Copies of this chain bind each other. A is one copy, B any other.
Amino acid sequence: MKEKLKNLEEALAPISSGNTLTIGGSLLRRQPNAAVRSLIRRGVTDLTVLTWAATTATDMLAAAGALRRYEGIYTGMFSYGLAPNFRRAVEQGAIEVRDFSETAMVARFRATTQGLEFMPIKTLLGSDIARHNPEQIRPFPCPYTGEPLQAVAAAKSDFTIIHGYVGDKYGNVQWPIVRDSDDIDQMMASAAKRLIVTVEKIIPHEEIMKRPTLTYIPGNWVEAIVEVPYGAHPVSCDGHYDEDDAHLTDYLARSKTAEGANAYLDEYARRPAGHDDYIAMVGGLSALRTLDVQP
């Protein structure tokens, strides 16, 4: 096995402006926010982003003006409403958007996982999702019945960034038994070309080996693994900590204007030297521990 433990900046160093990124997490869970703040700090821009149900990570990239193109199933703030910065940028025509339904996006990651250029679906027959995207949703007939099907294009990205629960230095990432599984992180990981995983905690390889069925991202798929406690803050990591309501409320309030959002990013993404600084900014570990939930 190969050691893949890096610090956040080292792990993200290969990512550059113009790249296509797959970003994991779903709704207010396991958004790789620490990684995204680091990219914003470095000024990476002109990104194409593929997501599942996106919230903070994608909205911060939109606020930073770093999003050129977006492909996903949802961007919003879950119980907090719409995603203010993403919404503003899209309404200004600043982001090229391609919408996909859940079945379609799943099919795209499965295609890549299975080494194919497409997967067949029949979900989007007649919809404007397909009408606006003839490049990535193509009609073709079923080879058995002749019925109309749609071939959705495989999800291809240069890098995939996922925030996981715990892992070892070889990149094996495990999930807890009690968790919220309403996402496609494992699918994104299996489809990744270059996979960077941040985890709440690095644990000994011996612990991983005792329960190999809990490994949802095998180290074999991983390029770099980074220990980033509270790496999803201000959203939650299920089984570890809850979302930070006060911080999210503040984020949304400041995001009412582009200037407010930019000031937020200056304060929380651009000015801190790194994730440790960020943690200090939001009150330190002692403040974050108040968000902890029972494991």
Residues of A with Cβ closer than 8 Å to B? 115-120, 122, 138, 140, 142-145, 147, 149, 151, 153, 177-179, 181, 211, 213-214
Contacts and interface: CB of A to CB of B under 8 A. Distances in A.
Number of copies of this kind of chain in the complex: 2
Contact of A140 (B117, B143, B145, B214): B143
9 contacts: A115-B122, A116-B122, A116-B142, A117-B147, A138-B144, A144-B153, A177-B177, A177-B214, A181-B213
B138 A118 contact: no
B213 A177 contact: yes
Nearest to A211: B177
Contact of A179 (B118, B153, B213): B213
A118 B140 contact: no
Interface SS of chain A = loop
Given A177-B213, A179-B213, A214-B177, A145 B122 contact: no
Contacts of A143: 118, 138, 140, 151
A116 to B, nearest CB: 6
Nearest to A123: B115
Contacts of A177: 177, 211, 213-214
A10 to B, nearest CB: 33
Contacts of A142: 116-118
A120 B122 CA distance: 15
Nearest to A141: B140
A181 B119 CA distance: 26
A166 to B, nearest CB: 15
Nearest to A145: B117
Contacts of A120: 116, 118-120
Contacts of A214: 177
Nearest to A138: B143
Contacts of A178: 211, 213
A46 to B, nearest CB: 25
Contacts of A213: 177-179, 181
A119 B120 CA distance: 8
B118 A144 contact: yes
